[in-house]
Amino acid sequence: MRHLVTVHPDYFPMYTVAGKWKHGGEAWTNWCEGFLGGQLWLMFAYTGDLWWRDSAVHYSRLIEHRKTDDSVHDLGFLFWSTWRRWYDYAPNDSINAVLIEAGKTAGSRFRENGQYLPSFVSAESSFIDIMMNVGIIFYAAEQSGDAALAQSAARHCHTTRRYLVRGDGSTAHEGLFNTDTGDFLRASTHQGWRDDSSWARGLTWAIYGFGTAYQFTRGIRFLQTAEACAAYYIKHTATHGVPPNDWLEPDPADPFESSAAAIAASAFLQLAELATDAVRARMYQQYAFTILDRLLQPDFLALETPQWEGILKQGTYHQRLGLGVNESVMWGEYFFLEALLSALNILTDGGGAVSARPGG
Ligand code: GLY
């Protein structure tokens, strides 16, 4: 991170190529600009060193203009990881106003016809990933007393639960809707193996996102959905807890997708806090620790890989487009650090200076 900030200032990396962050590879979409700033906030939380805080403030400010960007579905990814963390340290109205505006922008994409938030791809498309972006909408609604906005976020969650989460707890990446009638047409995928298969990262977005929806609403069906997705993850993943890019792909290009595992670790730790049953809570926590133990081995952790600029190897961004396959990816780094800080807080019996999750 220090290298990125000092050698490539103001650069927003997405995935490495042969272990290097700076390259001319395509982005597909612009959803990662909060993850470096988010990691800088996490490093400040862990160390208390003001260099990390000043860098985090700088990278947060660099994305402020995106608060009105209604061309993507990802403002939660951008602002929850940065400005929401900043607000934890500096709870003042001007920072909160940016969060509220970003949340309102994200909510403004809601389509009455079909009751969903569309993906950046087109009006007829919704993604499972959008579950990670409803938190900031619920937050903006709560802070501004906008009940209609909260309703939109809740309706999107119900639509996603109904059409993108399957009976066995697996998830489709994309749902396609008739934009005139709002009718659901079919499931599809961009980053998974097949339309009817199970893209691992999408499932982890669902575990985390439905957990967050439950946290804001206390709607028990959201918790049940997060738990159903978590059960699918555990059942279909080897005992070490690191899945492939898609569980159903017979011959994956890489046996592991480490970023999905990192997101899962953090999502399972969140679920451990939310679970209504102590035995299950303990099981989720243990499972998250199993994942982290595996990711801390040198085939994933790049500590012993000279010249590798990322933290976590063996992540994949977009297998079909050949983008960031078997590389480090920015969101993998971010959620890995978040999960590690959560784990440290647990191991030190709540001794962490601040919660690892924004607003926690
Ligand atoms: N676009 C979100 C993801 O690649 O997971």
Q: What is the pLDDT of residues 185-234, one digit of tens each?
A: 999 999 999 999 999 999 999 999 999 999 999 999 999 999 999 999 99
CA angle centred on 89, ends 83 and 93, rounded to 5°: 65
User: CB of 133 within 8 A of CB of 120?
Assistant: no
Write down the pLDDT at residue 252. 85
pLDDT grade, residue 13 (50/70/90)? very high
The answer to whether position 221 is within a domain reads: yes
Tell me the Ramachandran region of residue 48: left when phi exceeds 0, alpha when psi lies from -120 to 50, beta otherwise: left
Based on the structure, what is the number of domains in the chain?
Answer: 1
Tell which one of 199, 263, 331 to mutate to probe ligand 1, the residue whose CB is within 8 A of the most ligand atoms: 331
Task: Tell me whether residue 294 is in a domain.
Answer: yes
Which among 129, 318, 319, 330 is the best mutation to test ligand 1's pocket, defined by most ligand atoms within 8 Å of the CB?
129
- Asked if the structure places residue 357 within a domain, the reply is no
Note the pLDDT of residue 354: 67
Q: Residue 291's pLDDT is what?
A: 98
**In whole angstroms, what is the distance from residue 141 CA to residue 176 CA?**
27
What residues flank ligand 1, with Cβ below 6 Å? 31, 129, 191, 201, 317
Residue owning the nearest CA to atom 2 of ligand 1: 129
> Would you say residue 301 lies in a domain?
yes
Residue 360 placed within a domain = no
pLDDT exceeds cutoff 90 at 350: no
**Quick one: which atom of ligand 1 is closest to the CA of 318?**
4
Q: How far is the CA of 202 from the centre of ligand 1 (A)?
A: 8
Reported as a single tens digit per residue, the pLDDT across 121-154 is 999 999 999 999 999 999 999 999 999 999 999 9
Q: Which atom of ligand 1 is nearest to the CA of 191?
A: 4
Residue 352 has pLDDT above 80, yes or no: no
Looking at the predicted structure, is the pLDDT value of residue 73 above 90?
yes
| CA 129 / ligand 1 centre spacing (Å) | 6
Position 52 in a domain: yes
Residue range 151-159: average pLDDT? 98
How many Å lie between the centroid of ligand 1 and the Cα of residue 190?
10
105 or 354, greater pLDDT: 105
If one residue of 32, 119, 201, 323 were mutated to test the ligand 1 pocket, choosing by the most ligand atoms within 8 A of its CB, it would be 201
Which domain does 147 fall in, by range? 2-348
Residue 335 lies in a domain: yes
Please report the pLDDT score of residue 123 as a whole number. Answer: 98
**What pLDDT was estimated at residue 241?**
98
Q: 180 by DSSP, 3-state: which?
A: coil
CATH of the domain at 271: 1.50.10.10
Non-local (6+) Cβ contacts of 86 within 8 A are: 41, 56, 57, 60, 95
Does the pLDDT of residue 353 top 60, yes or no?
A: no
Residue 356 domain-assigned (yes or no): no
Nearest CA to ligand 1 atom 4: 317
